[in-house]
Amino acid sequence: MNKFFSHIKQILLIQIFIIISFFVYFNANSDESSKNFNSIYIGDDNAPVEIKIYSSLTCPHCANFHLKVVTKIEEKYVKSGKVKIVFIDFPLDIAALNAAKILHCVEKDNQMNILDLIYKKQSKWATGNTIEEINEKLKQITTSSGINPEKIDKCFADEDIENKVLSARIEGRKKYSINSTPTIIINEKKFTGTQSFEDIEKIIKKNI
């Protein structure tokens, strides 16, 4: 059974890299497109510390970081105006891409709630025998928050949002050489690997 799921994961990874390669080839303006993409962020635009988080919504390490570290940073430093956090999707598979499409097509004031929900329920939706099965579980979870099921279907089919998510991924890869998630950029300095709240806090204090 583990070999079966490993095979499914490999197929999904191949699919997303085919999509990205196709997109790069046919969209010479990917950088400009991503610049016009409305970022999901919390905090003051004038905060002395900006943290960019590149993550994949199917990545368990990303979920752990979001639920255990980001929430603490938000409570202690975002609300006080010292930190701005920008959430940037770096999907590692088709399931993560589809989740990102939902996230970016809901109303802006509901995006953080949906992001929290997607990570909290990650183990419930992020695996399945087919991408259709995963999509259906993702749909059930997100519609439980009050989103119309027809809207979710439109999100899945929205090629414009898909292109912009992939553009932002490509830009992150080009600008920061990102190849794993989560990757944290603090005031334009890159940090990889497991970062605890204490690790991040030390960096924040040096920059405020």
Tell me: pLDDT of 184 over 60: yes
Report the alpha-carbon distance of residue 18 to residue 112 in Å, rounded.
Answer: 29
Tell me: pLDDT of 24 over 80: no
Residue owning tokens 């046919």 = 26
**Using an 8 Å Cβ cutoff, are 182 and 61 in contact?**
yes
Going by C-beta distance under 8 Å and a sequence separation of 6 or more, which residues neighbour residue 98?
131, 134, 135, 138, 156
Global pTM reads 0.84
Other CB atoms within a 10 A radius of the CB of residue 44 amount to 15
pLDDT score recorded for residue 37: 56
Tell me: pLDDT of 173 over 60: yes
**Using an 8 Å Cβ cutoff, are 99 and 118 in contact?**
yes
Tell me: pLDDT of 172 over 90: yes
Residue 193 domain boundaries: 2-207
Buried b (16+ CB within 10 A) or exposed e, 160-170: ebbbbbbbbbb
Report the alpha-carbon distance of residue 112 to residue 5 in Å, rounded.
Answer: 30
Q: Which residues pair with 87 in a beta bridge?
A: 40, 53
Span of 11-20, 131-140, 161-170 with lowest mean pLDDT: 11-20
Other CB atoms within a 10 A radius of the CB of residue 37 amount to 18
pLDDT digits (tens, 9 = 90+) for 37-73: 568 999 999 999 999 999 999 999 999 999 999 999 9
Q: Two tokens at 45?
A: 């635009």
**Using an 8 Å Cβ cutoff, are 87 and 41 in contact?**
yes
Tell me: pLDDT of 74 over 60: yes
Residue owning tokens 């583990």 = 2
pLDDT score recorded for residue 192: 80
Number of domains making up the chain:
1
Other CB atoms within a 10 A radius of the CB of residue 123 amount to 9
Going by C-beta distance under 8 Å and a sequence separation of 6 or more, which residues neighbour residue 133?
none
pLDDT score recorded for residue 12: 54
Residue 203 or residue 11, greater confidence: 203
Q: Which helix (H) or strand (E) holds 85?
A: strand 83-89
- Residue 124, domain CATH: 3.40.30.10
